[in-house]
A and B are shown apart, each in its own frame.
Chain A
């Protein structure tokens, strides 16, 4: 096994273990911490796929933004004292069966499909090319997504404020 393979298995194991903690732990803070390390693992996967810009974006936006936002959500919507930090589960057994079925179908599909592959070039820095693409081929989607982001932020502030009575 090459060092690339070893790194992949280490990162994948960390990601899946953290994601499993996120799914199966009953404590919401443990859920959030599991999600944190799962995000880190996914960033590592991006690095292994030669996507350096996406990996940095993943760390900045998911770990630095979305996770903090989710923790705010936990803190603002729970009674911190007492046993209220626990979250229950509903219909665990049928849900597990359904998810295992979906996983089996997906894995079988991945295994049986003859994926068309091209030779893998050695990874090179992508940031400059992504910036150029944003300003040329992807200019319209870039502008649309910026307007979407503005609308989402205004909408979030509007929905989240206290009712004026």
Chain B
């Protein structure tokens, strides 16, 4: 079977599920962020695969560029929050950051 759109979509789906697994199982906040980056990459693979196989112009790739920019901004803010959490609680384990729980 020749490699086509379906193959890239399957790759994106598996990558998304691995990222999801990291996000919901890891205790360390930085590792959760890594999982989120994996999810964003999986979404971007889908965008660019559709841009290649179903679209004549570059709109999908433009969306890909914007996704990367917003991911960079999100990573910077999230890292700042993690470092602030570490300064307050001396730990970045998410199950210990429960002071908002009733």
Which chain A positions have C-beta within 8 A of B74? 152
Q: Which of A51, A69, A118, A159 contacts B56 (CB 8 A)?
A: A118
Which of A4, A72, A110, A155 is in CB contact (< 8 Å) with B77?
A: A155
Residues in chain A near residue B37, CB distance under 8 A? 35, 62, 66, 70
Q: A117-B54, A126-B61 are in contact. Are A22 and B38 (CB under 8 A)?
A: yes
Q: Is the CB of A70 within 8 A of B33?
A: yes
Given contacts A2-B2, A51-B52, contact A88 B75 (CB under 8 A): no
* Tally of chain B residues near chain A (CB < 8 A): 71
Q: Are A159 and B77 in contact (CB under 8 A)?
A: yes
- Measured between beta carbons, the chain B residues less than 8 angstroms from A2 are 2
How far is A115 from B8 in the complex, measured between Cα atoms in Å? 13
**B36-95, CB < 8 A from A:** 37-38, 41, 44-45, 48-49, 51-56, 58, 61-62, 64-66, 68-77, 79-84, 86-87, 92-93, 95
**Pairs across A and B, CB under 8 Å, 7 listed:** A35-B38, A38-B38, A54-B68, A73-B30, A126-B58, A129-B58, A148-B70
Binding site for A on B (CB under 8 A): 2-11, 13-22, 24-31, 33-35, 37-38, 41, 44-45, 48-49, 51-56, 58, 61-62, 64-66, 68-77, 79-84, 86-87, 92-93, 95
